[in-house]
Amino acid sequence: MGNLTLLEILKQSFTLVILLFCSLLSIIFMVERWVYFRSARLAVDDLLRRVGALLEAGDLKQAQSLCQSIKSPVARLAHYALLQHGRSRAEIEELMESKKLEERVKMERYLGVLGTLGNTAPFIGLFGTVLGIIRAFEDLALSGSGGPTVVAKGIAEALVATAAGLAVAIPAVIAYNYFVKKVKVISTEMDVMGIRLLSLIKQGAQEKT
């Protein structure tokens, strides 16, 4: 029992190796998405105010450059809409909808992986738990006598597998729900930006005429 360490359990249980890999994968994708959404933060009202002022001044190129310089799905949508400045309102709306879908795909990147890890990790841990119990009974049958030391490795493997599955799943589910909420918030901001920007573009076109 004294030689029973976490490293020994890890060597003997392939399910723990799988869960360790899942944990590393989850951490990598969580960090990547956190960096992405951190850079996607944007004050929509402020951008609209600045773009509106440039459009009123007739400086379309500067408005396009401003939106292009900001790394945000909302700003990219605004930049794309400004590039279609000469088209009709209906055409711009249709093209903006396609751009929203494109940006949504980018925002949802890797979220499916996090959701899958959050759902499957407990089952992998449960599978490891079952294998640990089986190992404990096998050791007990081979020894021919009872005692805690006989079944210690199997029971330890079972308990560690359960804990490892939950340790992988809980952060992944929390991160998944957090990022899904971010996607909804930014999607709403894109809708708001699209509606207001179309009004600014139409107003600018009317002033020219």
Q: What is the pLDDT of residues 69-97, one digit of tens each?
A: 998 999 999 999 999 888 888 898 999 99
With beta carbons less than 8 A apart as the criterion, state whether 176 and 115 touch.
Answer: yes
What is the reported pLDDT for 190?
A: 93
What is the reported pLDDT for 155?
A: 80
pTM equals 0.82
Residue bearing the bigger pLDDT, 139 or 43: 43
What is the reported pLDDT for 56?
A: 86
Instruction: Assign 61 a pLDDT band (cuts: 50, 70, 90).
Output: very high
H-assigned helices in 70-110: 73-83, 89-107
What is the reported pLDDT for 4?
A: 53
Closest CA to 73 of 207, 173, 189: 189
Whose structure tokens read 């292009």? 68
What is the reported pLDDT for 160?
A: 84
Instruction: Assign 132 a pLDDT band (cuts: 50, 70, 90).
Output: confident
pLDDT digits (tens, 9 = 90+) for 1-55: 445 565 666 666 778 889 989 999 999 999 999 999 998 888 888 999 999 899 8
Instruction: Assign 204 a pLDDT band (cuts: 50, 70, 90).
Output: low
pLDDT digits (tens, 9 = 90+) for 161-194: 889 999 999 999 999 999 999 999 999 999 999 8
Residue bearing the bigger pLDDT, 123 or 131: 123
Instruction: Calculate the CA 10 to chain-centre distance.
Output: 29
* SS3 per residue for 1-24: CCCCCHHHHHHHCHHHHHHHHHHH
Q: For 77, which DSSP code?
A: H
* Distances, alpha carbon 29 to alpha carbons 36, 77, 186, in Å: 10, 25, 19
